[in-house]
Amino acid sequence: MRKFDCVIFDWAGTTVDYGCFAPVQAFAEVFRHYGIEPTMEEVREPMGMLKIDHIRTMLNMPRIRKCWEKKYGKAPEEQDVRELFGIFEEKLMGILHMFADPKPGVPEVIQSLRAKGYSIGSTTGYTDKMMEIVVPAAKEKGYEPDCWFSPDSTGQKGRPYPYMIYRNMEKLGIQDVRRVIKAGDTVSDIREGKNAGVFSVGVILGSSEMGLSQEEFESLSWQEQQEKCRRTEQRFLAAGADKVVYDLRELEAFLEI
């Protein structure tokens, strides 16, 4: 008898958008618009969170906060957060359709899991409006979960709150958190899963945590690839991941044990 009934996936960096580049590009452009050049580490650290919370987190990072105070003569305020988010949303909406391709092997894994009786749920840091672009674009390329929930469905309480997972369980008729897997590509995904009490899996290849495109990763030497994977795995494990896999095909193999 199988141990789990449901797998809940993240979107960008986990099932679509290898390397999670759509939001990264938009966040970087927003801060540049305000005269601040964020590092890729600063942009990616809060990845997986509700997008407006991501902006709040970046504005509170010591270096960025110092740059903001030097440029504008005051600490960033909530009005600034909302103005940045408005520009971010506009920039992201203009490029999302180009970043909805499923990662290699994802449609085949989902088809196989469904054939074995697993329900397929999903959570995201995107808003409903953003998902109205991503979902049909991904469906055209072969990926469609049974359901999805954004922070718009949980009173804007996104990751690391567990509520989007519970909405998936409600929709899919799953009553026991011990029979649910949450798989994602960020520390926020792992924390979301742990807070929900489900089995939490970190996905290495194509993840925001690794932060490389498929071409960039494949151009590395075998030793460099292994070191990148090891570092990403350690971040997931430090966040409390129950398991770390290279890709969703490895997760499928794990479910067959």
Q: Which listed residue (10, 17, 185, 247) is catalytic?
A: 10
* Long-range contacts at 214-223 (CB < 8 A, ≥ 24 apart): 214/18, 214/19, 214/104, 216/19
Q: Which listed residue (3, 5, 17, 51) is catalytic?
A: 51
Is the previous residue joined to 160 through a cis bond, with omega within 30 degrees of 0?
A: yes
Secondary structure class of 207 (helix, strand, coil): coil
| Strand extents, DSSP E, the chain | 6-9, 119-122, 180-184, 199-203, 243-245
Looking at 141-186, list the stretches that DSSP marks H as alpha helix, in order from N- to C-terminal side: 163-172
Q: Distance between CA atoms of 160 and 151, rounded to whole angstroms?
A: 11
Instruction: Based on the residue annotation, tell me whether 189 is a catalytic residue of this protein.
Output: no
How far CA 58 is from CA of 10, 36, 142, 162, 210, in Å, comes to: 21, 11, 34, 22, 19
Instruction: Based on the residue annotation, tell me whether 51 is a catalytic residue of this protein.
Output: yes
Q: Distance between CA atoms of 203 and 123, rounded to whole angstroms?
A: 15
Active site residues: 10, 51
